[in-house]
Amino acid sequence: MTVALSSPLSTLFPYAMWDCWWLAPVALALDALLADPRLPWPHPVVLVGRLLRALETPARRLERRGAGKAAGLACVLLLACCTGLSARLLIALPFVGPVLAVYLAWAGLALGCLLKTGAEAADKVWGAPLSEARRTVSMLVSRDVSRMDSPVLAKTLADTLSENFTDAFLAPWFWLLAAGPVGLWCYKAVSTADSMWGYKTELWRDLGWAGARGDDMLAFIPARLSVPVLWLTDILVRLFHLNRPWRGRWPGFRLVSRQADGMHSPNSGLPMTACAWLCDAPMAGPSVYFGELVEKPWLGPPRESAGQDWDAGRLRALLSLLKRAACVGGGLYFFSYFFRL
């Protein structure tokens, strides 16, 4: 069943859910089954990153003239426009356009890669020498891991896995459904700018401001949907008497919201807090980024009353929770758009 909408939006953003019901589920299935396989060409995110690096030199010139934030905003807008336009031209090609639409939708989702690399990192944290574990976790996070022991490395890994439930899946999935591959890659361009430039350091404070704020705005709704999705996942697992490897409890939406409000980011604390309570182990807390100590609140159950730290079993439980939540969230989004609720 396809709903045809003859409007400028459907022309600019083809393959959105109201135009094409099958693209998003196919992309989600490919991501879950294949993750990010090696292909003969670079991943689209790599190309977006190369363009952003090329824009840095002229942006720095403007920054030295006192227009750092304006330069960063111009770069993010140009990056998003070029990325979205490229996606639009590719999926408009005759014969191969639908195939490229599937590829771009699949490549824009990163849940499979997140779960795969998360499982590999969890094995290294608890089964490899400390130096190797630090090296593995350092490739997934931006904080300083050089002095972390295994329990702190495990908590840091849990932080980034739960936070990236929004960035790697819910937000891309939301924009794929709402605006097709073009909208998805406009979001990915802004998200890439945030990942590369969005640091609160002297070097990036002005130039990275637009990418960070843009990512906050585009992920605002998906981040808030992550909490009911995680809650519903726990409810459904209990209802159908499925294996429930996480052993925590649900503290209520009000407490999750109140704890998450203490984070500097308006979005990251929501999935982190929900996962921390369900897995019965604290997250966040003070962390070192680029040599600077950043004070963050502790999320989840109080450290003195939590079951224990992020051991191997809890990390596996978190990965299982995120995988099942993606199934629930994907199904909810798909049916809500399909039936136009």
| Predicted confidence (pLDDT) per residue in 266-318, tens digit | 999 999 999 999 999 999 888 777 667 778 899 999 876 545 689 999 999 99
**340 or 138: which carries more pLDDT confidence?**
138
Residue type at 149 in one-letter notation: D
Domain boundary assignment for the chain: 12-338
Q: What is the pLDDT of residue 339?
A: 65
Q: Classify the phi-psi angles of 244: left when phi > 0, otherwise alpha if psi is within -120 to 50, otherwise beta.
A: beta
Tokens of residue 22, six digits = 């099958």
Q: What is the pLDDT of residue 146?
A: 84
Read off the pLDDT of residues 27-74 as tens digits, 9 standing for 90 and up.
Answer: 999 999 999 898 999 999 999 999 999 999 999 999 999 999 999 999
Percent over 90 (pLDDT), the chain: 75
Rg of the Cα atoms in the chain: 20
DSSP state of 166: I
Q: What is the pLDDT of residue 33?
A: 93
Tell me how far the alpha carbon of residue 80 is from its chain's centroid.
17
Q: What is the pLDDT of residue 264?
A: 87
Give the CA distances from residue 272 to residues 118, 204, 231, 236, 322, in Å, rounded to whole numbers and listed in that order: 15, 25, 13, 20, 11
Q: What is the pLDDT of residue 154?
A: 94
Q: Is the pLDDT of residue 156 over 50?
A: yes
- In the chain, the DSSP E strands lie at 283-284, 287-289, 292-294, 298-299
Q: Crossing angle of helices 312-338/23-34, nearest 10°?
A: 160
Tokens of residue 197, six digits = 């430039």
Instruction: Write phi, then psi, for 132 (nearest 5 degrees).
Output: -70, -40
Tokens of residue 282, six digits = 């604290």
Q: What is the pLDDT of residue 294?
A: 75
Q: What is the pLDDT of residue 250?
A: 96
Instruction: Write phi, then psi, for 298 (nearest 5 degrees).
Output: -80, 135
Instruction: Write phi, then psi, for 327 (nearest 5 degrees).
Output: -65, -45
Mean pLDDT within 107-117: 94
Q: Confirm if 244 and 238 have CB atoms less than 8 A apart.
A: yes
Q: Which residues pair with 232 in a beta bridge?
A: none
**Full DSSP string of 120-148:** HHHHHHHHS-HHHHHHHHHTT-SB--TT-
> Is the entire prediction scored with pTM above 0.85?
yes
